[in-house]
Amino acid sequence: SYELTQPPSVSVSPGQTATITCSGDKLGDKYSCWYQQKPGQSPVPVIYRDSRRPSGIPERFSGSNSGNTATLTISETQAVDEADYYCQVWDNSAVIFGGGTKLTVL
Amino acid sequence: QVQLVQSGAEVKKPGTSIKVSCTTSGYSFSSSDINWVRQAPGQGLEWVGWMKPSGITGYAQSLQDRVTMTRDASSGTAYLELRSLKSEDTAIYYCAKGSDRGPHFDYWGQGTLVIVSS
């Protein structure tokens, strides 16, 4: 079955750029999306169709997807961005989530 | 505005069944898929399955023998039934609306905590 691999954790200083990767076989051939989940809350989409931002999501969130890697980039990271981030794709009519990455802003 | 409101938390004994509801509003229920996703305590997201407006369903392989998804278009409510509950089914269960802009979930319910314990 298809698998997506994310780093368990990423740390970034406030104001710096955070990069979270998601790896899978020929991932660039699929549409990827990213969800942000804060403690005790439901996930919220921050990127869909590889690089599109839903309304209300700050411009500092961006995404790309090529080859075997999708990337979520958060520019000028703020303390409010500290959360778990999950990548997601569809494969053979099934939804696949990455294992999640805990972003720490310190 | 779009809302998905789920039923309340439940505690169940192993071997029993549970049915979680997801009542929608603010959009055309008959035009969007409903997906279910679960999250065990301290763990990541796990997809459970989807249901199209037509009623066609698709389930995660690991759960397909124990899960059934249904919907009541008249009330805009989707249901998830899970049978033969095991302790490892303890999780928060989320319903999520499929987006018409891309293969992602644009709105999520608040989650329903299901605890399976003897």
Are B102 and A49 within 8 A, CB to CB?
yes
Q: Using the predicted structure, report yes or no on whether residue B83 has a pLDDT greater than 90.
A: yes
Chain A: closest CA distance from residue B46 (Å): 7
| Chain A residues within an 8 Å CB radius of B44 | 84, 86, 97-100
Of A86, A93, A94, the CB nearest to B45: A86
Residue closest to A99 by CA, chosen among A18, A4, A31, A2:
A4
pLDDT tens-digit readout, A80-93: 999 999 999 999 99
Question: Which pair of structure tokens corresponds to residue B31?
Answer: 């035009």
Position A61, amino acid: F
Q: How far apart are CA A87 and CA A36, in angstroms?
A: 9
Q: Using the predicted structure, report yes or no on whether residue B8 has a pLDDT greater than 90.
A: yes
Task: Report DSSP state, residue B99.
Answer: P
Burial of A35 (0-12, 13-18, 19+ CB in 10 A): buried
pLDDT tens-digit readout, A12-60: 999 999 999 999 999 999 999 999 999 999 999 999 999 999 999 999 9
Of B45, B106, B110, the CB nearest to A45: B106
Q: How far apart are CA A74 and CA B77, in angstroms?
A: 36
Q: In what order do the strands lie in the sheet with A18-23?
A: A18-23, A69-74, A61-66
pLDDT confidence of residue B79: 98
pLDDT confidence of residue A24: 98
Q: Using the predicted structure, report yes or no on whether residue B22 has a pLDDT greater than 90.
A: yes
pLDDT band at B103 (very low <50, low <70, confident <90, very high): confident
Chain A residue closest in CA terms to B93: A42
Chain B: closest CA distance from residue A60 (Å): 19
pLDDT tens-digit readout, A93-104: 999 999 999 999
